[in-house]
Amino acid sequence: MKIDLHVHSCYSDDADGSVKELIKAAVKKGLNGIAIADHNSVEGGLKGFGIAKEMKDFAVIPGVEVSSANGHIIGLNVKENIPKKLTAEETVERINSLGGMPVLPHPYRMLSGIGEKNVKGFAGVEVFNSRSPVRENKKAEKLAKKMGIGETGGSDAHSSNEVGYGITEFSVNSFRIDDLLQEIVKKRTKGYGVLTPKKIALMHHVKSLRLWFKRGWV
C-alpha cells in the first residue's frame, strides 16, 4: 500500500487545495490514502476522514503539523487541535495523550526543523520529504536508523498537483488507521519519492516568507 503521509489542505494558510481535490488527486495517482496534516489545525484532516468513510479502499488519516517551540511536529490520527509553541516534549506528550502518533518531519529544515536535540518520544522520522533537498533526506534517514524508529515519506504537498510526490509504503493490506500506524511502530515501512519541481517549491517559499513577515513563523 502507498500512502502520502504529509499533505496540506486549504485549512493551512499557505496551501490552496480543497480536501476533495487532494483526495481526488491521490486516487487518480493510484495512492491508497493520504494523511492530512495542516498547520495547527485538524479541520482538514477531520473533513477528509469523514469523506473517506464513504469510500471503498481509501484511507484518510486525520492529523496536524504543530508549530512547537522547537520546530514542526506531525501528529498522525489526531482529532483535536494542539496549542502552538509548547516545547517539543510537551507537544509529543499531548499527541500521545490524544491517542495519536508523533512523527518528526523534515528534521533538518531551516527555521522549522527540530534537528537532533529534541527527538525523544517520536515513533517515526520522515526520511523522505519532497520539499527537502537530497542531503537533508539522507540525514533524516540516518537519524531514523540511529534512533531505531520507523520511517515515513510524504510530499509536504500544498496543492493537489503535488500529492504523491512523497510516499510511505506499507506491507500490510489494511485500511484501518491503527493497523497502518502499527506498521510504522514495527519499522515495516519505507519512505521514498521524487522531489517537488523547483519552480513550485520556490513559489511556496516566497509565499511562506510573506506570511512570516505578516504574523511570524508558524
Residue 138's CATH number: 3.20.20.140
Q: How far does Cα 168 stand from its chain's mean position? A: 10
Q: What is the pLDDT of residue 137?
A: 98
* Backbone phi, psi, residue 184, to 5°: -65, -45
Residue of 16, 91, 89, 103 whose CA lies nearest to 61: 103
Q: What is the pLDDT of residues 37-94, one digit of tens each?
A: 999 999 999 999 999 999 999 999 999 999 999 999 999 999 999 999 999 999 999 9
Q: What is the pLDDT of residues 122-178, one digit of tens each?
A: 999 999 999 999 999 999 999 999 999 999 999 999 999 999 999 999 999 999 999
DSSP state of 157: B
Q: What is the pLDDT of residue 200?
A: 76
Q: Cα separation of 11 and 16, whole Å?
A: 8
Number of domains in the chain: 1
Q: What is the pLDDT of residue 111?
A: 85
Q: C-alpha angle 105/30/189, rounded to 5°?
A: 40
What number of CA atoms fall less than 13 Å from residue 117's CA on the CB side? 6
Q: Cα separation of 218 and 182, whole Å?
A: 29
On whether the CB atoms of residues 155 and 164 are closer than 8 A, the answer is: yes
Q: Cα separation of 61 and 175, whole Å?
A: 10
On whether the CB atoms of residues 140 and 162 are closer than 8 A, the answer is: no
C-alpha cell at 140: 533524516
User: In terms of residue numbers, what domain contains 16?
Assistant: 2-215
* Backbone phi, psi, residue 199, to 5°: -65, -45
Residue 121 has pLDDT above 60, yes or no: yes
Q: What is the pLDDT of residue 199?
A: 79
Residue of 160, 165, 105, 163 whose CA lies nearest to 130: 165
Q: What is the pLDDT of residue 1?
A: 97
Q: Cα separation of 27 and 35, whole Å?
A: 13
Q: What is the pLDDT of residue 206?
A: 59
Q: What is the pLDDT of residues 184-200, one digit of tens each?
A: 999 999 999 999 997 77
CA distances from 50 to 9, 42, 114, 127, 212 (A): 15, 12, 31, 28, 32
Q: Whole-structure pTM over 0.85, yes or no?
A: yes
Q: What is the pLDDT of residue 202?
A: 66
